Amino acid sequence: MAIQDDFVINYPNKVFYYNGGFTNGIPDSTYTANQLYSWLMNVYDEPVQMDNLEPMEGKTDVNYEIINRWFTDPTSMKSLTGGAMKTNGWTFNATADRDGHYGITELDYSDDGSPTEGNDGYTDLGTVLTGGGSGATGILLWADTTNSKLYVRNTNGTQFQNAEAVTGTGWNIDTNATSGFESGEHLWANVYTIGSIEPDTDIYIYQGKPGDTYDPTPNKLTSWWADGHIDVLVKVMEHNNYFDSGYATVYARQFSATYSHFEANLSGGGRNPAPLSAGEDLNSQTGYRTISTGAWSGPFTDGEIITGGTSGAKGIYMGGTVDTSIQYGLVGKDLTDFQSGEVITGEDSTETATSSSGPSNYGPALLSDVTISFGATTEDINNGNGSRKYSVRIDPSDNPIEEVYERLQYVTRRGSTDQFGTGASYDENGEAYYGNQVRLYVTETVAWTEGDLLTGGSSGATGVIVAYHDDGGTGQLILCQVRGTFSTETVTDEGSGTGTVTTVESIAPVPAAPFGTFAGGKFFGAPGVCLTTANLAAGDEQAYQLVDDLGVTQQPPNTVSVSVTGTKTGDRVAVFRLQGDGLPIDKAEYGATVQSPGATTIVADSSITGDTPTAGYVRVIDDDNSNKREARLRYTSYTSATFTLATSVTGSATSGSSGDTLIDTGADFGGADDVRVGDVIRDTTGGGWGYVVSIDSTQQLTTQAADGETLSWAPSDGYDTNVLPFTTTTSDDIYVPFIDAVRIADGDETNQLVWSATIYISVRLRQKGIKPFIQDTTIPSGGRSVAAIRTTDEVVT
């Protein structure tokens, strides 16, 4: 339609407004600001209009002003595109203008007390309103009874008051006790999106509340635009007060697509592009809703839009079971869901199915055990860099990493009201969350509180404290929802926290996926996001990469397996590190330190290498012994240069013990008492040490003395296992086999290590009755598996 068919000019009251229709909150027609201006200028250049003041002025081709105290309403602004609109002259002034007007005032009233309200919109245009306490008078211009607001043109030099009765024909209201009247200029800036987005994407906007210099809990605007790219006017100033300093954030977050957002500063008015980039997310293709159906007319097409014939719901088809159920993600302006008993139609396939029940959650919507927490934390991913600082923790709870990613996208999709933050007053909806923004290196005077709003003393910049890493007098503050630019200045929180900034660093959020992206089977965490690696699903140990709160990328270690397959019960299996290709076993990996018998740790003379298995056996060579006897000791962990040995079993020999036979009627060997064949055992009464040769029963062991030792058991002799059996000196040596085991069942013997370079190894398997097996090989980047060859020894007896 022509603009003159949709816009009305009311000359006596100096009002122009959109009179066209709206469908589902969307104007039926839209016009550029220039079209409106050009039409009004055409009207006002007629001779008959020369006695009237014009309504608008074009400052530039994208900036326009409503002048001479003409009025139009916020709803009419929804029909405009292509340029900014600003008022000039609405601010109340006790001195009248040439038309006898004093300004335009908004009256805000309460629904309490059952006010008498007239008609909405322009129906009561021209009604005279009077303030019962102030004596102020004005002409009603426009009424918004839904939000309890009236716009009035002041007609005397007295302003309305708070908490006063305002009356007029059909009206009797009480202004609010605070902010009951407001007068000042307004600005609607033009924002439009550009770039590539998926079809049927609904853009949405978050904006702070009026009057707030910074609003860390912004509002989501109720959209008045259709899906796809937008070109709209957004109010950024009201009564001379900016909304959140003029900022607004534009989002495109359609589930099944990558996400995008852009934070725009609209305070200057004009026409402002919001570049967005969102494409199909091949790693987020599991629907989060499901609905049961009857027979299908034919197969639906993956990714097509499906619609509900009764509900009007729209969704993206994301799989299903023929004639049984459909899985989907919701789209559409209001995210209306499907309902039971309606025909569901595929937009591309044209196939249909009738729902037989209401919808329910599915896929990522069910993974509530994937938890997200905020605040200073640390995580050691065993890559040699120790514990690193992070501000966001994701616990996978043993779910596959690709499903964890889909859950993270689900809780940040359009429509998500999951709350993210430290649990304080500045938490934000998942659909608005986009991550850390600033890292401040600080010197502390009084510790800051996570979740508080931090303010720069000289810059005035603000941000919410996600994490404070306290290093003892110094540390790092990680901030989100930042406004302005921090400098090297004093910063304070809302409590007593204060200190000085020494360095400011920006952190780049990840628009496509606020908690981290997924590609090539790997999760790439957003800055400051860590995983609880102990709760990763099997096989995901290397399927991630993190960036800590100091901005350092953390790669997981390349954990590989070394295995000997095809072993039998009783087999002795070992995999030794060689000095090099074709060289002997490296039995001098570490030097020993001075330690006494009975030690439950083994301390080397240098740090333990990163490719040492996290648990296994450590061998200590007694260099003072002519045969260089070895103590073979089980360890459960290591750190720095120290191996921590498995818990020792202690007790006393009882009746029947003699020679190599140890009996303890109070023991549970091989059960609660963790004793294994090959373990070191000491006689703590008579002296001497040796090895466990066999576990004959839960109460009996057969032992063998070590070289140069006497080990003969008698009742009441004390014993302990798996402790250092002799005094070590710095001339002794230590080495660690990758595998060192006596098989207690048929199967494979496996251990893991962190691989960093090719390792030369010797694989060995022995048991009386078969010929010794030996094979020298390497451990490459993918690990090594060696199949044991068990050849019967026809000679042995």
The per-residue pLDDT for 38 is 98
The per-residue pLDDT for 209 is 73
**Greater confidence, 382 or 305?**
305
Q: Are residues 155 and 189 in the same domain?
A: no
Count Cβ neighbours within 10 Å for each residue of 286-321 and write b for 16 or more, e otherwise.
bbbbbbbbeebeeebeeebbbbbbebebbbbbbbbe
Q: What's the pLDDT tens digit per position in 139-166?
A: 999 999 999 999 999 999 999 999 999 9
Tokens (6 digits) for 356: 């037989």
Show the beta-strand stretches assigned E in 421-535: 428-429, 438-446, 453-456, 462-470, 474-483, 490-492, 498-506, 516-519, 522-525, 529-531
The per-residue pLDDT for 212 is 57
What is the domain range of residue 481? 438-506
Q: What is the mean pLDDT of residues 14-22?
A: 97
Q: What's the pLDDT tens digit per position in 534-554?
A: 999 998 999 999 999 999 999
Q: Are residues 197 and 172 in the same domain?
A: no
Q: Are residues 270 and 378 in the same domain?
A: no
Q: Is the pLDDT of residue 789 over 90?
A: yes
The per-residue pLDDT for 384 is 80
The per-residue pLDDT for 425 is 80
Q: Are residues 472 and 409 in the same domain?
A: no
The per-residue pLDDT for 232 is 99
| Residue 108 maps to a domain | yes
| Residue 86 maps to a domain | yes
Q: Is the pLDDT of residue 383 over 90?
A: no
| Three-class secondary structure assignment of 61-115 | CCEEEECCCCECCHHHHCCEECCEEEECCCCCCCCCCCCCCCCEEEEEECCCCCC
What band does 576 get if pLDDT is binned at 50, 70 and 90? very high
- For 630, phi then psi, to 5°, come to -125, 135
- pLDDT over 70 percentage in the chain: 99
Total number of domains in the chain: 7
Q: What's the pLDDT tens digit per position in 59-80?
A: 999 999 999 999 999 999 999 9
- Which of 561, 575, 569 is CA-nearest to residue 773? 575
- d(CA 687, CA 656) in angstroms, rounded, equals 19
Q: Are residues 498 and 518 in the same domain?
A: no
Question: CA dist 313 to 291, 310, 338, 359, 415, Å?
Answer: 12, 8, 5, 12, 14
| Residue 681 maps to a domain | yes
- Report the CATH number that the domain containing residue 684 is assigned in CATH: 2.40.30
- d(CA 407, CA 372) in angstroms, rounded, equals 11
Q: Are residues 450 and 425 in the same domain?
A: no
Average pLDDT, the chain: 96
| Residue 632 maps to a domain | no
Contact assessment for residue 791 and residue 770, using Cβ atoms and an 8 Å cutoff: yes
| Residue 765 maps to a domain | yes
Q: What's the pLDDT tens digit per position in 203-237?
A: 999 998 765 555 666 889 999 999 999 999 999 99
Contact assessment for residue 119 and residue 141, using Cβ atoms and an 8 Å cutoff: no
Q: Are residues 426 and 519 in the same domain?
A: yes
Question: CA dist 29 to 21, 55, 78, 190, 476, Å?
Answer: 8, 21, 10, 17, 52
Please say which residue of 252, 279, 306 terminates a domain. Answer: 279
| Residue 625 maps to a domain | no
Q: Is the pLDDT of residue 424 over 80?
A: no
660: DSSP letter: T
Q: Is the pLDDT of residue 625 over 90?
A: no
Tokens (6 digits) for 422: 């430290």
Please say which residue of 183, 199, 217 terminates a domain. Answer: 183
| Residue 629 maps to a domain | no
The per-residue pLDDT for 578 is 98
Q: What separation, in Å, do the N-terminal and C-terminal C-alpha atoms of the chain show?
A: 106
Contact assessment for residue 256 and residue 199, using Cβ atoms and an 8 Å cutoff: no
What band does 1 get if pLDDT is binned at 50, 70 and 90? confident
Q: What's the pLDDT tens digit per position in 386-411?
A: 899 999 999 999 999 999 999 999 99
Q: What's the pLDDT tens digit per position in 667-716?
A: 999 999 999 999 999 999 999 999 999 999 999 999 999 999 999 999 99
Count Cβ neighbours within 10 Å for each residue of 417-429 and write b for 16 or more, e otherwise.
eeebbbebebbbb
Please say which residue of 335, 361, 387 terminates a domain. Answer: 361
Q: Are residues 667 and 795 in the same domain?
A: no
- d(CA 747, CA 564) in angstroms, rounded, equals 9
- pLDDT over 90 percentage in the chain: 92
The per-residue pLDDT for 626 is 76
Tokens (6 digits) for 194: 């550009």
Q: Are residues 179 and 189 in the same domain?
A: no
The per-residue pLDDT for 624 is 83
Q: Are residues 197 and 319 in the same domain?
A: no
- d(CA 518, CA 516) in angstroms, rounded, equals 7
CA gyration radius, the chain: 38
Contact assessment for residue 220 and residue 432, using Cβ atoms and an 8 Å cutoff: yes
Q: Are residues 323 and 393 in the same domain?
A: no
What band does 252 get if pLDDT is binned at 50, 70 and 90? very high
Contact assessment for residue 34 and residue 61, using Cβ atoms and an 8 Å cutoff: yes
β-bridge mates for residue 659, sequence order = 713
| Residue 684 maps to a domain | yes
Contact assessment for residue 742 and residue 571, using Cβ atoms and an 8 Å cutoff: yes
- Which of 94, 172, 114, 186 is CA-nearest to residue 140? 172
- Which of 74, 79, 270 is CA-nearest to residue 191? 270
Q: What's the pLDDT tens digit per position in 313-357?
A: 999 999 999 999 999 999 999 999 999 999 999 999 999 999 999
**Vertex 167: Cα angle to 166 and 169 (nearest 5):** 150
Q: Are residues 201 and 261 in the same domain?
A: yes
- d(CA 538, CA 558) in angstroms, rounded, equals 14
